[in-house]
Amino acid sequence: MPTKGTLVLFRHGQTEYNKLGYLTGLADVALTKEGEDQARAAGKSLSGFIFDKAYSSTLSRAFNTATLALEASGSNNHLKNADGTWNVEQRREIVEADSGDFTGRNKFTDPEILAYPHSYDIPLPNGESDKQMVERVRKFYNEVLLPRLERGETVMVASHSGIMVAFDIVAGLKPEPTEDIWSNRSKVPNAAPVVFEYTDGKLTKHYDVPSKPGASPPKP
C-alpha cells in the first residue's frame, strides 16, 4: 500500500510591519488583532486535519499563529503539553530571510531598497541572500520534513512569506530564480494554508485550503 503524507504550510498572520509595508526580516514583530483573527480563521479551515507534528519559526509571529490555529482547529488537542501549552517545535531554519540594514524600512518607497540589486545570490546589506535562505529551508525540508512525510505523517509548518516561496522552490514547484524574491513576498497572503500531498515521499498534489463557512477569510 502506498504511504500518504501531508504537509500544511502557512505564513504568519498580519503584523504592524505588514500593514506599513516594512521589511521585517528577523525583527520580532507581534501579530495585530487582525493577524490573530487570521490565524484563528486558518485554524478553523484546518479542522479536518489531525497533525502528527507542528513546527514554527523561532519568531513570535509565526509561533503564535501556529498556536492560535491549532486551538481554533478543535481537532489537535493531542499536541498540547501537560500544562496546556502547545507542543510546537520552533526551528531556526525557517525564520524569515535576514533583511539586515533594510529591516523596518518601507520596501515600496525607500530609495535605497528600490535601487538595490535584485539578485538571488546577493545578500541584503548586513543580511542574507535569498539563496542562503532557500538552502537552509532545503536542509530542513530534506532532513526533517521528508522523513516524516515518507512515514505517512501529517505535518504543519507556520513560517513567513519568504519561506513559503522557498518551500515552493525546494519542493520543485518553482525554479530557482535569478532575480531576488524578497521584493515580491507581499503576494503571499497572511495565514492562508497551502497543502502539499505526498505518496511514498513524492509530491503528488498541491492546493490552497478554502476558508471554512462562517470564518473570516485570510487576507493578503
Q: What is the pLDDT of residues 123-149, one digit of tens each?
A: 999 999 999 999 999 999 999 999 999
- Percent of the chain, pLDDT > 90? 89
Q: Which of 96, 128, 153, 160 is catalytic?
A: 96
Whether residue 78 lies in the annotated active site: no
CB of 45 closer than 8 Å to CB of 212? yes
Architecture of domain 4-208: 3-Layer(aba) Sandwich (3.40)
CA-CA-CA-CA dihedral for 55, 74, 217, 149, to nearest 10: 40
pLDDT value, residue 104 = 98
Indicate the residue type of 128: E
C-alpha cell at 11: 505564513
Ranges of each domain in the chain: 4-208
Q: Which of 12, 128, 153, 160 is catalytic?
A: 12
- Rounded CA-CA distance 165/95 in Å is 13
Mean pLDDT of the chain: 94
pLDDT value, residue 210 = 84
Confidence class for position 220, pLDDT limits 50, 70, 90: very low
The pTM of this model reads 0.93
pLDDT digits (tens, 9 = 90+) for 68-106: 999 999 999 999 999 999 999 999 999 999 999 999 999
Whether residue 12 lies in the annotated active site: yes
